[in-house]
Amino acid sequence: MKKNIQLLFLTILFSNDPPIAKQIPHQIQIHNQTRIDNYYWMNQKGDDWVLNYLNEENQYRDKVLANTTQLHKELYNEMINRLPDYENSVPYIHNNYEYRKIFLKGNDYEIYQRRLVTKKNREWNDILDINELAREFEYADVGWIQPSPNNQYLAFGIDTQGNYRYFIKILNLVTGELLKENIPNTWGKCVWHPDNNRIFYSEKDYTNRNLCIKQHWIGFNNLDDEELIFEEIDTQYSVYLSQSKSGRYMFIGSESTNATDFSFIDLQDKNLKINNISNRKKYHLYYPIQYEKSFYILTNSKNHTENKIVSTLISNPGVQYWKNLFIPEEGHTFENFTIINDHIIIKARHNVNPYFQITNLKNDSTFTIKFKEKLFYLGFKDNYDKDAKHFRFEYSSPTTPQIIYDYDLENYELISKYKRQLNNNFSSNNYNIERHSVMDKSNSAQIPITLIYHKDFYPNTGDNPVLLYGYGAYGSITDSYFTNSYISLMDRGVVIAIAHIRGSADLGKQWYNDGKMLQKLNTFTDFIDCANYLLKNKITTSDRLFAQGISAGGLLMGVVANMAPQLFKGMLIEVPFLDVITTMSDANIPLTTQEYNEWGNPEIRNYFDYMIQYSPYENITEQDYPSMFITASYNDSQVGYWEPAKYVAKLRQFKTDDNLLILSTDMTGSHSGPSGRYSGYKLIALEYAFLLDQAGFTYQGSH
């Protein structure tokens, strides 16, 4: 059999024809219906036929894109040369030490450093060099670092497979020695007990769900002796842990897509008693933090559509004791909050864009921090000290690289602590952001769409290449950070368009609810409406319009390709969720049970009937499709590599055009792609070379 596989591989290697996957009919029965999946066999990870098929597709990718080699190199070099040669994060204080991370030129990974706040000789000391850890692995990601209360140890989680299963390791910061601890199958984050002798962590089950909280004593490496603190038996929930800024309380949170349930442990209690805050209730989402003698809680309780802030005494945490503190204005939503130095800082949002609402808890004075750009990102940053004189946040926009601000809570001043400076003569003044509004096809919703472009190229004659990005799932926010790689497209005249479609929470919770479960089709038709808007308003033409979606956004791409292929010249479809029915019917696949409240459970007939209407894999048909560049990651734990692989194989079987269809599989990366600062740009540059080639650009040595 291996000889036959090798012959097939050699045949593909020296042929310009795309790979044709073998068909092995597999019957799937549900609701008295039998579906035949000819490519079901591709989920057999490690199988020789699977590996060779993926390699053949990668070989085909390289051949058909050989004409873009120089453009690919130019794009990649632009992207990495734009990065600063040296970068360091703004230091933050934790237990009388300052911590920061730095990137040195040529290094793929960060180096963590610290120094004593009070020491006169304030030289930085390297404490953890991820470049050294990563040398023996093809993939490495350090999710969190957590110093012990006495500053002697540093716990950190590292994923070396790209499957989001982190090993927790512990470093002795005094001796520089790595301890024997190597705790597998964790979320990566841990909480230190105040006695410095033990940590608490979240352990994953075989589906990658965070199953339970365990306690580990430092120095004991027999994992069979780990003490179970809490176990989440409902497979629709995943369990997480966090710690209050005071260090006294540990929160245990069970979370599904439409409900949360929190308990807490007073770490001064020798018995580690678990205290429930509010009983689990469907559609009840809440997130507590502790400040002084109270819990402050972000919640949607009592049928309040948008979040509000309530408070209750720690001694009486039950929902019946909750008192309303802050309720958003109509059309506004609260997303997150923190409390520092008697000030509650709420990250809120109105009409897509975020802002901060700050209230002094001592005198009730309230004010806001707002920015004027048409689209931007705000996020809390390293606010670990509950008594700090400032709170820190990050700002960026599609045209403005990252800025770190401290807001002085005593003098009410905004202080810039860091501005990311890019190389290659980058200037934000060369670019512009516009906000447009699109009426959906039923005249029931106005869909925001944001355009970002280089001022020298737009407005043009109506044939600008446009890359329309969409996601629209999980109630996530389509925040627009600064994206270094987009500059290389905009500098060549490509307009970046962002569709703020239903299924996101860009316009609040109801906007999300209107694009999930049995209203999911709104997400797809919103995106199509945005595409039609771009065409009807002569911003671009259908032979220069491209679409991009990642993960659940890849589902969006797959549906739109079936429903309205004529609108698009090409698509970038990255690690896409495409086989909705098969995946959501298999409880052994990561995320399935936790996402019944996002997509629906196909074992229930009305959900099955609705989901099968749009499932991209099920609805492939004999028609012309746009050119597609589709990515997969072999070790992806969020979306199995076989979903894009099966989709491509079936699409090759049915499509009636000669447009390029490329499957690019990263054999070592994760759902987020390759690890490392530079590695990810290689794939992005290849995708953009494909896009520009399809748009008619030719490499001429310089753009």
What residues are annotated to the active site?
A: 551, 636, 671
Sheet of 332-340, strand order: 332-340, 343-350, 353-360, 366-369
| Token representation of residue 245 | 């800024």
Alpha helices in 38-97 (DSSP H): 48-64, 69-82
What's the burial of 497, exposed, middle or buried (CB within 10 Å: 0-12/13-18/19+)?
Answer: buried
Strand, helix or coil at 573? Answer: strand
Where are the strands (E) in 634-694, listed by range? Answer: 661-666
Provide the residue type at 85 as one letter.
D
Give 264's strand partners. 251, 275
C-alpha distances (whole Å) from 523 to each of 381, 470, 552, 565 are: 31, 9, 11, 16
Q: What is the DSSP letter of 502?
A: B
Distance CA 519, CA 460 (A): 37
Q: What angle is formed at CA 490 by the lines to CA 484 and CA 491, rounded to 5 degrees?
A: 95
CA dihedral (211, 215, 221, 225) positive or negative: negative
Pairing of strands 570-574, 627-633: parallel
Alpha helices in 401-483 (DSSP H): none
**Sequence-ordered list of residues with C-beta below 8 angstroms from that of 41, at least 6 positions apart, any chain:** 22, 24, 26, 47, 49, 50
What's the burial of 174, exposed, middle or buried (CB within 10 Å: 0-12/13-18/19+)?
Answer: exposed
Strand, helix or coil at 144? Answer: strand
ω into residue 459 within 30 of 0, thus cis? yes
Instruction: Report which secondary-structure segment, H or E, holds 35.
Output: strand 33-37
Q: What is the DSSP letter of 178?
A: B
C-alpha distances (whole Å) from 25 to each of 36, 40, 178, 196, 648 are: 6, 8, 51, 57, 17
Distance CA 459, CA 451 (A): 11
Residues 455/484, Cβ–Cβ less than 8 Å = no
Among all chains, which residue has been given the structure tokens 């696949």? 589
Residues 209/202, Cβ–Cβ less than 8 Å = no
